[in-house]
Structure 1
Amino acid sequence: MGVLRAHPELALFLCLAAGYLVGRLRVGPITLGGIAGTLIVALLVGAWSEVRVADDVKTVFFALFIFSLGYMGGPQFFANLNRKGLRFGVLCLIELVCVVSIALFLAEAFDLDVGTASGILAGAATESAVVGTATEAIGKLAGLTPAQVTEYQGNVATAYTVCYLFGLITIVLYSSQIMPMMLRIDLREASRELWEKMRGGEGSLEEDEREALPGMVGRTYVVTAGDGMTVGELQSARDGLVTVEAVKRGSRALTPEPGLELSLSDLVLLVGRRREVIAAGRQLGPETPGIPGLDAPLATRQVAVTEKATDGLTIDAARRRHPEFGQSGVYVTEVLRNDQHLPASGDTVLRRGDVLSLVGARSGLDRLVKKIGAVVNNDATDFVYLGLGIVAGSLLGQIVVHLGDIPLSLGTGGGCLISGLVFGWFRSRRQTFGAFPPQAATTLKDMGLAVFIACTGLASGPQAAPLLKEYGALLPFAGVAMVLIPATLSLVVGLKLLKIEKPLLIGAIAGQQCSTPAITAISQTAQSTVPLLGYTITYTLSNFLLPLTGPVLVGILGA
């Protein structure tokens, strides 16, 4: 114990290791997760050893976490500020109004202090970021002694731990098991039908599956039926969706210019979409195995769409606008929008910031890239951009707005969240600067939150037992009620008024609760990622809005 007191870094990383180990324990479909496990371990270690970590450590790591969270969700957050996104946003509004109202009611009815009420909100809503924003807001309340600040901040962590446990169990079971029964659907079958409807009859793939028949292919043919046809005629007959990449006549390799006339027994390499290549092959003759020397290397590029004129065009319309697609044999093989993979079909609408996977001859590919966008640069973190973003968020968090007698401030957490959203969105518009690779962003986000939670638990350990003794029965009740009330209201509103498809609605309700374990259980039940389409929208919106409820609740109760 003396070693831990003398070296708090040992206690900190002990809590991380043991906490994530506890978080892996599974009971049925329920796992606590590393963050809740870390907090439980940290509370126990803090109560036993009374280790204290400097407050600056907690502040720095929370800023890293909240900025990374905003940066990763920024593009999708702003992309969802449309009619479809705002329809799902109604569910997030229901969540916000319900959890704040319930927390205020419980505080009034049971005379709760500001820390306990904030911890109930954070835990029952299963939103760890509220712990940080509320704790920071409590530290800025006027009229509190240092001892009261320490006590109330400790109560946030303790109340969060208990309510999180019961809130997590409730949302996982309610969304993955009970909601499908209430809606009278087989979630697996309903998800499959919805996916086939969205993809025009095509089935879905699991994460570890790949297409057995890829869409982009190269095949060689012997010219028989196509004797006398020119290369240009063959390509134009397929609307530019097939290109002749190589022609071999005897031992000679010919340049496949549009005016080249094909002769009997020529070997021709076609590249393009599988359906079109097969159709073009019928015009030429029988297919042959790959011929040595008859090959044309193709380059690949990850290109962010930045051209305004391309924004809103379908892939087919973009091909017509840019002749390089057909003339140089460049093909779109994948569309990545934020973290969602979209089908590279002709009717897929492109948006600025979309990342296209392009395949084609190097010269034509380079010309096309210069017109429509820029090659994505995401190799290493741009620490200039990252540092400026956190500085901007910290400064924004210092602004205080008074609503009557209630002082409201975003604090470092809320400010960095907003700056992260803006900086992440701005980066997505032209991905040639401000690189923050997804793996790096995820690591900083997870590490930042884990260290913050560990610091909070270590400091709160000594106050945990008295609070549990005083409000032991209230906390589990609050954790269950604060999940069931907004989730049930959202189910009714989403089904009756918003007319959201049932698998998407179930996923969206898990998202409004910011519950990753819930969407994991839902996806396992559905054996499909379809509910994830609804989850991503509400998860992004709630991840921005719920952390702001911490300062709001603290400001109201503190006044």
Structure 2
Amino acid sequence: MEWIKHLFKESPEIQLFVCLALGFAIGRVKLWKISLGGVAGTLIVAIFVGTIGVALDSQVKNIAFALFIFTLGYMSGPSFFASLNRNSLRYAVFTVIEAVAVLAVTAVATVTMNLDQGTASGLMAGGATESAVVGTATDAIGKLNLPAKEISTLQANVGTAYSISYIVGLITIVLMTSQIFPSLMRIDIREEAEKLWAKLGGGSTDEGSAPALPELVGRAHMVTHADGSTVGRIEQSMGEDVTVERLRRGGEEVDLTPDTVLVLGDILLLVGRRESVLPGDKRIGPEVSPTTGMDLDLDTADVVLTAKEGSGKTIGELRTMIPVEQRHGVFLTGITRMDHALPIRSGTVVNNGDTIHLSGTKRDLASFVPKVGFRIDPGVKADLVFISIGIVLGMLIGKITINLGSVPLSLGTGGGCLLTGLVFGWLRARNPKYGQYHPAAAQVVKDLGLATFICAVGLSSGPQAVTLIKQYGVSLAVAGLLVTLIPACISMFVAWKVMKLPAPLALGAVCGQQCSTPAITAVQTAAGNTTPLMAYTIVYALSNVVLPLLGPVVVAMTGALV
């Protein structure tokens, strides 16, 4: 043990990656259908390692948190601002319920259990299953006019209380949303999800698998029945989901226009959705093996939606808004919002900031993409100039202090970087020439930044953890359960009885107000499709911004109560 302690003190970077490795390994372990996740696993490991008296430099913690919270805001920015519309704002009631309820329950727990500011903050952060609150609360505690030793103790209590209440809160929200709420509602969640899926446009409900028969296909047909017809008539008769991409006559390729007349023996290459291409035998002629020169590579593009007229519209409405000739040969193959895949159905609503995945020829994509948004350049992972400026501005804004009477108020590093992240993410969506931050790169930075920050918190919490657990015992876990349970029950009642939302959307909204990825994963598994994500992503975008701002609020509130 002394050798390990000496090694960690001499090389703190080793203890960081040991905690990350062990923490993420523990986070993958599933008990029933629940896993803690890498961040919570890292915190638990770090608390244990911290009991031997080792810690990370505070600057490492500050840098990691700034990277995490700015990236969180950057990724949320387009979706957050897009959610501020008439259709989406009704879902804001769930974020309001969550914020008010967790503060209220924390206030009651503070008075009845005589909690200090650190323990109360950790209790709320864990019960709300929002790791970012740990950072904003810790930052706010650091600005209190208290002795350095007392501040260090309070900050350590944040991490310990968070780890206890997070485990309880995670188990509670997963079980409530995927099992208990559907039972209380007396519904079959899978049946309800299938009804909603059909209402949105139908289709297969299988999730997480690749089809043996791809939806987008190419077929070559010899012209017999279509002799004397034109390319335009063929496309019109086959429907909007089919395009003619190649025409060969006598072994030579012919330039295509809608008015090109087909003659007996021509070979046409059709590209489109499988069910729409099938009638080609009857309308054109027999299917044939593709000849030399008929092969065609389709390009793919990940496009961030920015067109104002497209935000808040359903996919079906967009199809009617965009003329057929403008979307000729372009096929929608996926939609993601904040890294969550949405169902590709006519009734699915899209917002600015969503990433749409398109397939088509390079010519068609080059013409269509600028009309709806900007293409993510896979070769550029991160514009570090743009990102660094945003973080610097966030830190400077966080230093601004406004005195409300005798109480100093400031956003701190967390609030400042979250604010600039939101604005910079929104600016990027408005002007795609600057600020490239590839979603995959952003996800890595966000996860690593949060895990490193949580590791630092856990290591500093280690020596204090045993004392805090002895002081409060099981009562802290019970309080954490109530912080999760009460707002979830209130929101479920509002969603189901007051707003009359379909069951998948109601459950998705409750998961979203908790920003709980494990919960929405469990609900999707129970539902059998992605319909719960339609409400989850909207509420998640709002709660992901509002909840971290509660860190300084709970510190100030607790200070006034004790």
What is the TM-score with the length of structure 1 in the denominator?
A: 0.90
- What is the rounded CA distance, in whole Å, between the counterparts of 2:420 and 2:350 in structure 1? 26
How much has 1:33 moved relative to structure 2? 2.0
How far has the Cα of 1:347 moved from its partner? 7.8
Q: Does the 8 A contact of 2:121 with 2:554 survive in 1?
A: yes
User: Aligned equivalents of 1:344 and 1:178: distance in 2?
Assistant: 29
Aligned equivalent of 2:94: 91
- Distance in 1 between the 2:515 and 2:354 partners? 25
Contact 2:42 2:455 in 1 (8 A): yes
Equivalent in the alignment of 1:189: 191
Do the aligned partners of 2:202 and 2:345 also contact (CA within 8 Å) in 1? no
Confirm or deny that 1:121 pairs with 2:119.
no
Amino acid at match of 1:24: R
Give the SS at the match of 1:11: helix
After superposition, the Cα gap between the structure-2 partners of 1:42 and 1:238, relative to the gap in structure 1 and judged at 3 Å, is closer
1:157-176, aligned counterparts within 5 Å?
157-176=159-178
Partner of 2:108: 105
User: Structure 1 residues 497-506 or 261-270, which shifts more?
Assistant: 261-270
Contact 2:343 2:531 in 1 (8 A): no
Distance 2:357 2:29 in 1: 39
Q: Deviations over 1:36-95 (max 9, x none)?
A: 2222222222122x1132211110001111111122222221222123322221111111
1:277 CA displacement: 4.1
Shift of 1:341: 4.8
CA change 1:473–1:278 in 2 (3 A) is: closer
Does the alignment pair 1:223 with 2:223? Answer: yes
* Separation in 1, partners of 2:191, 2:347: 26
The 3-state SS of whatever aligns with 2:228 is coil
1:388 paired with 2:392, answer no
Name the CA distance, whole Å, in 2 between partners of 1:173 and 1:349.
28
Contact 2:205 2:528 in 1 (8 A): no
Equivalent-residue separation in structure 2 for 1:231 and 1:343 (angstroms): 32
Aligned AA for 1:451? T
- The corresponding residue for 2:26 is 22
* Contact 1:393 1:412 (C-alpha < 8 Å) held by counterparts: yes
**1:207–1:433 CA distance, 2 compared to 1 (3 A):** farther
User: In the TM superposition, what whole-angstrom CA distance separates every residue of 1:435-475 from its partner, at most 9, and x where no partner exists?
Assistant: 11222111111111111111111112112222211111320
Gaps of 5+ in 2: none
Q: Which deviates further from its counterpart, 34-43 or 181-190? A: 34-43
Cα distance in 1 for partners of 2:220, 2:378 equals 36
Distance 1:448 1:220, change over 3 A: same
Counterpart in the other structure of 1:9: 13
Q: Are 1:546 and 2:547 matched, yes or no?
A: yes
Aligned counterparts of 2:44 and 2:346: Cα–Cα separation in 1: 51
d(CA) in 2 for partners of 1:127, 1:218: 46
Paired residue for 2:466? 465
- 8 Å contact kept, 1:70–1:420: yes
**8 Å contact from structure 2 (residues 239, 276) kept in 1:** no
Range that drifts further, 123-132 or 7-16:
7-16
Contact 2:340–2:537 at 8 Å: present in 1 too?
A: no
> Secondary structure at 1:269's aligned position in 2?
strand
Q: What amino acid is aligned across from residue 63 of structure 1 in structure 2? A: A
Question: What CA distance in whole angstroms lies between the structure 2 residues aligned with 1:345 and 1:102?
Answer: 40
Greater shift, 396-405 or 74-83, is seen at 396-405
Decide whether aligned partners of structure 1 residues 266 and 384 sit closer, same or farther in structure 2, where only a CA change above 3 A counts.
Answer: same
Q: Secondary structure at the match of 2:515?
A: coil
Q: Which moved more, 1:132-141 or 1:74-83?
A: 74-83
Deviation of 1:390 (Å): 0.9
The 1:217–1:475 alpha-carbon spacing in structure 2 relative to 1, beyond 3 Å, is same
Query: Which residue, out of 50, 53, 58, partners 1:55?
Result: 58
Q: Is the 8 A contact 2:190 2:526 kept in 1?
A: yes
Deviation at 1:100, TM superposition (A): 0.8
2:245 aligns to what?
A: 245
CA distance in 1, matches of 2:336, 2:168: 37
Note closer, same or farther for the CA distance 1:367–1:521 as it changes in structure 2 (3 Å cut).
closer
Call closer, same or farther: CA 1:176–1:256 in 2, change over 3 Å. closer
What are the superposed Cα offsets for residues 16-53 of structure 1, whole Å, 9 maximum, x if unpaired? 222222323332223222222222222222122x1132
Letter in 2 for 1:553: V
- Are 1:205 and 2:209 matched, yes or no? no
Q: Distance in 2 between matches of 1:306 and 1:437?
A: 16
Choose from 41, 46, 49 the match for 1:42: 46
SS of 2:532's equivalent in the other structure is helix
Q: For structure 1, which segment, 298-307 or 99-108, has the greater mean C-alpha deviation from structure 2 after superposition?
A: 298-307
Superposed CA deviations along residues 340-380 of structure 1, whole A, max 9, x for unmatched, are 55666778777655555454454454344555554332432
| Aligned with 2:135 (options 126, 129, 132) | 132
Q: Is the 8 A contact 1:315 1:348 kept in 2?
A: no
- Give the fraction of aligned pairs with identical amino acids, expressed as a percent: 47
Q: Secondary structure at the match of 1:270?
A: strand
Q: 2:206–2:528: 8 Å Cα contact kept in structure 1?
A: no
Structure 1 residues 39 and 234, CA gap change in structure 2 (3 angstroms): closer
Contact 1:44 1:461 (8 Å CA) reproduced: yes
Q: Which residue of 2 is the match for residue 82 of structure 1?
A: 85
What is the CA–CA distance in structure 2 between the aligned matches of 1:299 and 1:155, rounded to whole Å?
53
Displacement, 1:476?
1.2
1:426 paired to 2:427 = yes
Residue 162 of structure 1 aligns with an amino acid whose one-letter code is I
Would the alpha carbon gap of residues 193 and 20 (structure 1) be closer, same or farther in structure 2, given more than 3 Å must change?
Answer: same
For residues 186-206 of structure 1, give each alpha carbon's deviation from its aligned partner in whole angstroms, at most 9, with x where no partner exists. 1222222221221x2222231
Cα distance change on mapping 1:152 and 1:235 into 2, 3 Å: closer
Aligned residues of 2:342 and 2:533 also touching (Cα < 8 A): no
Distance 1:333 1:17, change over 3 A: closer
Once the two structures are TM-superposed, the CA of residue 255 in structure 1 deviates from its matched residue by 3.2
Shift of residue 217, structure 1, vs aligned partner:
3.3
Deviations 1:495-536 (A, max 9, x none): 122222112211221221222222222223333332232222
RMSD of Structure 2 on Structure 1 (CA): 2.8
Partners of 2:523 and 2:331 lie apart in 1 by 36
Partners of 1:12 and 1:451 within 8 A in 2: yes
Q: CA separation of 1:180/1:444 partners in 2, compared to 1, >3 Å: closer, same or farther?
A: same
Shift of 1:207: 1.7
**Normalised TM-score (structure 2):** 0.90
Whether the aligned pair in 2 keeps the contact of 1:77 and 1:540 (CA below 8 Å) is yes
1:493 counterpart residue number:
494
Which of 65-74 and 346-355 deviates more? 346-355
Change (3 A) 1:280 1:179: same
Give the direction of change, closer, same or farther, for the CA distance of 1:297–1:10 in structure 2 (3 Å limit).
Answer: closer
Go from structure 1 to structure 2 and tell me whether the alpha carbon gap of 1:175 and 1:420 turns closer, same or farther (over 3 Å shift).
same
Which residue type is aligned with residue 160 of structure 1? Y
